Copies of this chain bind each other. A is one copy, B any other.
């Protein structure tokens, strides 16, 4: 695929880390929540191998927070998601599909309960703040909705635990997956969660104090040398191999959460009130007509910039490939596809035109095994 430049402007917001990653060799950006999100530091495959073995620092400030506070904040957050948050706890993260009244997915954020009256919705790429404001205004909810000055840096990779222990001490090793707490760095408290958009383990630091955050960024590179720390970013190969779904890529507002395999985050039988609940009951009763599945192709190269039609032996279109990459682990191209009923059975053969050639492959389960 030919390279095109990104035309920078104030509208594609820089992050506090942008000037640093540009000195450190970022080569490509994507745009996420109207903000620059690094997409490559040279070779994706080199970064993938490094991420699986060592530790990386990521500028993921594009993962913006929608802060909802006030008396009706819990009610508004619950209204937006099909996941039952009635038993949620302070200091915990929750993966929460956000739905509209037709049960179409609007975003798939991680929700942080700071306390009962203050929540952060750590969003994928869509303006959830506008949906929240519209709902709050229309319902006359007593809430305050803002995008706070929070710029996440992620520490990812198997050696992230040792690196973070070196900086924050033994206390951080006690943090459970999807738990968060406040940790001191040179006199400034930072909210840190054990989370991140890779399956290699690690942390996300929700930086509110920019100056301290930049000092911390530099410090992590200084003390991380012994762990072979490098700058990085969400890695296309690692995230597909790990079947981490990407909103806008693998699913969008035309899809419902059952089609995306989010069943365990859908609580239609609880008595909570959320948008799309009746619609979801109908969908469950009728059964879905398409489903996200994995695909493995008998080829070694792909570069996808949009959906790609998938066909069966008789040239019927049976679905569309939405994300794909060459997987070093499987030694072939793998991808995530929305497959029509009844073609979603494992082993269903598929074909697609890749780089001008007809390539064959098979449907498989997600996560990939």
Binding site for B on A (CB under 8 A): 1-14, 22, 26-31, 34, 39-40, 100-101, 106, 125-128, 130-140, 236, 246-249, 275, 304-307, 322-323
Measured CA separation A345–B52 after assembly (Å): 57
Q: Whose C-beta in chain B lies nearest to the C-beta of A134?
A: B134
Kindly identify which residue among B4, B11, B106, B305 contacts A10, using a CB–CB cutoff of 8 Å.
B305
Residues of B within 8 A of A249 (CB): 9-11
Q: Which 3 pairs, one residue from A and one from B, show the smallest C-beta to C-beta distance?
A: A138-B138, A134-B134, A11-B248
Contact yes or no, B8 A1, CB < 8 A: yes
- For this chain, the copies found in one complex come to 2
The residue in A11, A29, A306 that gathers the most chain B C-beta atoms within 10 A of its C-beta is A11
Whether B248 contacts A34 by the Cβ 8 Å rule is: yes
Most buried by B among A126, A128, A138: A138
Residues of B near A134 (CB, < 8 A) are: 130-138
Report how far A3 CA is from B4 CA in the complex, Å.
Answer: 9
Contact, CB under 8 Å: B10 / A322: yes
Name the CB-closest residue of B to A145. Answer: B100
Give the CA-CA distance A40 to B8 in the complex, in Å. Answer: 12
Compute how far the CA of A139 lies from the CA of B40 in the bound complex, rounded to whole angstroms.
44
> Whole-angstrom distance between the alpha carbons of A35 and B143 in the complex?
32
| Distance in angstroms between the alpha carbons of A133 and B131 in the assembled complex | 7
- Some 13 contacts from A to B, beta carbons below 8 A apart, are A4-B8, A5-B29, A9-B246, A11-B246, A12-B305, A34-B126, A34-B248, A101-B137, A106-B130, A132-B134, A133-B134, A134-B138, A138-B140
Nearest neighbor of A40 in chain B, beta-carbon distance = B7
A132 / chain B contacts, CB cutoff of 8 Å: 134
CA distance A305 to B31 in the complex (A): 14
Alpha-carbon gap, A101 to B133, bound state (A): 9
Q: Is the CB of A126 within 8 A of B127?
A: yes
Nearest-CB distance from A302 to chain B (Å)?
12
Q: Is B306 a contact of A10 with CB atoms below 8 Å?
A: yes
Cα-based distance from A1 to B8 in the complex (angstroms): 9
Complex: how many Å from CA A26 to CA B11? 20
A125 to B248, CA, bound (A): 16
Tell me the bound Cα distance from A133 to B14 in angstroms. Answer: 29
